[in-house]
Structure 1
Amino acid sequence: MIQVQNLDFSYPKKPQLFSKLNWESSTGNIIGMLGKNGAGKSSFLRILAGLLFPDNGQLSVLGFSPEERASAFLQEVFFVPNENYLPGHLSAERYRQILQPFYPRFDGETFSQLLDRFEVNSQEKIKNLSFGQQKKVGLAMALSSGCALILLDEPTNGLDISGKSAFRKELISVLSEDQTVIIATHLIRDLENTLDRVMILDQGQIKLDADLSDLADSLHFGISQSAVPDAIFSQSSALGVQFIQARTTQAQTVVNLELLFEGVTSGVPIASFLSKTNSLTT
């Protein structure tokens, strides 16, 4: 579905953001792209969507070159930015009526159901909705679009606890097996129990790219009251010492995404401990 080869990108008069970046993805995954603020997550999504153009390298998304902005490509990609982009003078329902014809598999019934579950009035003008409610309208649009590729930039930013829970639930239930979602976020806890795959972007490079199942098979996550001698990575917390070990005979544990992120961005070569690694660029 996506192939990125030797991609270079920089903004004018700023240091290079990506240099010789390589990555690829197949169909049917919910992928979490984790990174600190300023790591380039939003820029990467915009490059995939054809809104920013790489300086060098090769990029293929759904068999298209995104920067050409072909109509057949645009019909299959839905991008929800972090900032508010919705037309405030329209209601969510009216905006749906205008947008739906552009997407061949848009499901209007699903859109209405999602707004009900998100507790958003579809007839209220968007400008009168809170930031969180506006974000829910955009997410409902994306999840109803039927697009092969959905790009979400900080989708839980502005949502309250119940809104985040509803988003996670609907994300899993609404998507079909032939759709791929890439979620860029620094709010790591908000993605728990939703991801199939995680990629960690740091200092302009993808430092880790792996399936959650492989991480759970290969690594053991735990908490101890004292230091663990054979830990790959550890850090103190209010509960004790959180640690990551290479898994041997231990029972499988839930992947602690926050601890994994801290380990990778601290320079720990987590990928070397995995039984099988997807694309990895260091």
Structure 2
Amino acid sequence: MITINNLSFAYKKQAPLFKDLSLEEGAGQIIGLLGKNGAGKTTLLQLISGLLTPNAGEITVNGQIPIKRSPEFLEQIYFVPEEFIMPTVKIFKFVEAHAGFYPRFDRTLFNDLIKQFELDQNKVLSKMSHGQKKKFRIAFALSTKCQVIILDEPTNGLDIPSKAIFRQMVAGALEDDQTVLISTHQVKDVETLIDKILLVDNGRIIFNNTIIDLSEKYDFKIVSHLPEQVLYSELNPMGYKVVTAANGNTSEVDIELLFNAINDGVKFN
């Protein structure tokens, strides 16, 4: 699905952001791309989308080279950036003009998603609020049924009810041959969706693991007193949030706690 071999990239007159980065991800996943500010998350998404050219190395998406921007590539990938400008057209006119570029576009699904987001198809896109524009872009992206859907900070601008609807949409609208790549700082908004976590730091993938594997190997919990064997802990109003080795039961993964632990130097197998 997504293959990166020995990728190197730097903006002009700046130090390399990526050097010899390699990654391979298959279909049927919702992947969370995490990292500190400036770690290169958005840049990596733009490279995968063909919006930036690698300085060295190779990226392929379903066998296509992104930077060539071939019709075969463009019809199977959809990228929703964090910031965007919408045209001065009504929603239904935008769909009429753009849905045809995506062979698997599902109009029934789109109408349902728009209804859930309470958007009027006669609304002019450029006159909508940022949150409404974001809802539209998410609904359109999911309706394309593209094999790769990339969402950069998708919950920014959404109110609490809309975040809940977003999670339901993503969980319910995907097929087995699709992969969704979500970059976000708002991990609490998406942690019930994510199947796998990638953590980028200093131009490298420093963590790549599935939620299932983590839940089987580690316990993420709140305790009143620190246990003797603890991998990582944080103060909490109820005591401590801790990560420990699993005791035989599966645990719900606290992605924010995991992220902080990794940045603190904790090594997860």
Q: Which amino acid aligns with 1:32?
A: G
Give the whole-Å Cα distance in 1 for the aligned partners of 2:230 and 2:150: 35
Q: Which residue of 2 aligns with 1:182?
A: 181
Query: What's the CA shift for 1:23?
Result: 1.0
1:46-78 Cα shifts (integer Å, max 9, x gaps) = 100000111111211110111111110000000
2:148–2:179: 8 Å Cα contact kept in structure 1? yes
In structure 2, stretches of 5+ residues that fail to align are: none
1:80-121 Cα shifts (integer Å, max 9, x gaps) = 00002321x111111111001111111112111111101111
Q: Which residue of 2 aligns with 1:266?
A: 264
Q: Which residue of 1 aligns with 2:18?
A: 18
Query: What's the CA shift for 1:205?
Result: 1.5
1:258-282 Cα shifts (integer Å, max 9, x gaps) = 0001011222111x2xxxxxxxxxx
2:85–2:126: 8 Å Cα contact kept in structure 1? no
1:212–1:255: 8 Å Cα contact kept in structure 2? yes
1:17-67 Cα shifts (integer Å, max 9, x gaps) = 111111110011011111222221111111000001111112111101111
2:232–2:243: 8 Å Cα contact kept in structure 1? yes
Q: Which residue of 2 aligns with 1:49?
A: 49
Query: What's the CA shift for 1:145?
Result: 0.1
2:3–2:23: 8 Å Cα contact kept in structure 1? yes
Q: Which residue of 2 aligns with 1:156?
A: 155
Structure 1 residues 112-121 or 231-240, which shifts more? Answer: 231-240
Query: What's the CA shift for 1:11?
Result: 0.8
Q: Which amino acid aligns with 2:131?
A: G
Query: What's the CA shift for 1:14?
Result: 1.7
Q: Which residue of 2 aligns with 1:206?
A: 205
Map residues 125-136 of structure 1 onto 2, 5 A cutoff: 125-136=124-135
Q: TM-score, normalised by structure 2?
A: 0.97
Pairwise CA RMSD of aligned residues? 1.1
Give the whole-Å Cα distance in 2 for the aligned partners of 1:268 and 1:50: 34
Give the whole-Å Cα distance in 2 for the aligned partners of 1:165 and 1:125: 25
Map residues 1-282 of structure 1 onto 2, 5 A cutoff: 1-87=1-87, 89-249=88-248, 251-270=249-268, 272=269
Q: Which amino acid aligns with 1:256?
A: D
Give the whole-Å Cα distance in 2 for the aligned partners of 1:91 and 1:62: 33
- Give the total of aligned pairs: 269
1:86–1:138: 8 Å Cα contact kept in structure 2? no
Give the whole-Å Cα distance in 2 for the aligned partners of 1:150 and 1:130: 23
Give the whole-Å Cα distance in 1 for the aligned partners of 2:112 and 2:247: 46
Give the whole-Å Cα distance in 1 for the aligned partners of 2:95 and 2:227: 54
Give the whole-Å Cα distance in 2 for the aligned partners of 1:138 and 1:91: 13
1:211-270 Cα shifts (integer Å, max 9, x gaps) = 110010111112222333311111212222111112143x22100010001011222111
Q: Which amino acid aligns with 1:206?
A: I
Q: TM-score, normalised by structure 1?
A: 0.92
Give the whole-Å Cα distance in 1 for the aligned partners of 2:250 and 2:147: 33
1:84–1:131: 8 Å Cα contact kept in structure 2? no
In structure 1, stretches of 5+ residues that fail to align are: 273-282
